[in-house]
Chains A and B, each alone.
Chain A
Amino acid sequence: MKIWRIFKMALSSLKINKMRTFLSTLGVVVGVSSLILITSVGYGAQYSILSSIQSLGSDVVIVIPGKSANLFKSTVGSNAMRKPLTYDDAKFLKRKMPYAKIAPEISVNTTAKYGRTEVTTTVVGTNADAFVVTNYEVAEGRILTDRDIVGYRDVCVLGKKVADELFPLGNAVGNYILLHGNKFLVVGTLKEKGAIGQIDMDDLVFVPITTLQSQLRTKNVQIIYAKPPQGMSIDVLGARIKSFLIARHGMENFTLNSFEQYLQLAKQVTDIFTIALAAIGSIALLVGGIGIMNIMLASVAERTREIGIRKAVGAKNRDILIQFLLESALISTSGGIIGILLGIFGSVLVPQDILPTHITTSAVIIGFTVSFLIGVFFGVYPASKASKLNPVEALRYE
């Protein structure tokens, strides 16, 4: 018997009891749509981290004070207290490796004021290299220069958000603003950069590191970014920084990281998240499968006479088996297709700025395949039950 015939037969059987067919797909619909939605959220998180790190440049080495094996552990260890990272360390590294971009950074949360407008923001003391490391583009004016740094100048460069808030009409460059009560000349503004992780890269004000350090009465920096020149890997640069700093400090009292490591970690975290939630979706699918089995068993019982008639005119056990298997696979696969569409629809409805979503082809293919397999798997028992019916007894069934 031709498979196409059986397929048409199965399809017309399902049409007879439309409501029941529809209801029996629901479990799989819920399972597949939640699977699609959940993985889209998981992948969305990964992609947003990936893209923000790419916008920063993943080829950046990060040096933080204190020795820590774990990225998430506090970096303020006892070693760090004894010997923190200083601006001199950064200058030393630059002297040893003039080819690299070295950007030390110290930041403080404070207020920025222009006229009557006052906003809270983060002031970052850094140098000219920082703008290269973080791939900022100038909107107006200029970035910080070495002369600003060396001269302890009271100048600042505004991030897009701060500039917009203090100078809604534009023309920020050339005006004086107050940072924590101290007067600074705005020499430039930056183009929009977006957020990297938790940090809004546009809600920042950049000042010469020398100026901020003298105001804070410190020689320390919180972080040093280093970017290798073209053709050098971050591993090579990292190794050099490590040996230079150990030689200078006499011990390894700092930690080297790269964004790549952060990326790996973020990936791991979202992977675990995705797997955990996908497991929940799978349970929904399992329940859907059991629902289909239940309906198929009822259908087999109800259609005992039909099975008897088919067998009486020559249907083999295999013909009946395939017919019922196909019916159950059709139910689950159509549930799967509806689920995929609903999942995609749902992931589009999720507000992307809160929870970015990303639909992957593999999720769609897996959703489709799994729903088909569920129909086959949970259809085997009812179908084999149907196929093994004795024709005479089946015909006698009322």
Chain B
Amino acid sequence: MKMADGSVILRRNRPGTKAKDFCRWPDEVFEEMDSTLAVQQYIQQLIKRDPANIDLILKMPDAQDEGVWKYEHLRQFCMELNGLAVRLQNECHPETCTQMTATEQWIFLCAAHKTPKECPAIDYTRHTLDGAACLLNSNKYFPSRVSIKESSVAKLGSVCRRVYRIFSHAYYHHRVIFDVFENETHLCRRFTHFVTKYNLMSKDNLIVPILEEDNILDESEA
């Protein structure tokens, strides 16, 4: 993209870039992004601009393939969940949280193993994120980032269900961490709105009380 003075904006983080300047470049219009990673670029650009503006972040551009849109958002969620996992590592120890639980109602089994296993919460978190990274990058199910088979799109729901348990465990067992993280990233709120908007999870499973807070439950039903 040429500027008026003829200089070209290069959106690069060159070595030596200060942390505050990282990815701090003028926004690029989605239609002008010609990269195969345009959707990721666009989503990250929106988040960078204002992570709290969830409606805008989740607003799909016209003529965008919905499967790719959901897929790229889920990649972004899993990536940002690494941040929550790092924080949990300091507090959520296998000795204290021996099982993956949120409310006392369910014990979640870790699906990363050949036979689902009762992993401690922190291992459940790591294994689930690692497994999601493998699945979402799998050449078999997601060979392209510009078009995705319908059968692969169907896999997104189960990934959402599993990674959501990380939010719920943090919310019910490590509330301080959850709040600090949520305050910074609005990630659980964005995730909740995302899965609701695209019907990737049933509302019964959304046990972190966010929709109630936002009072959008009725809206989305309407």
Binding partners A and B: no
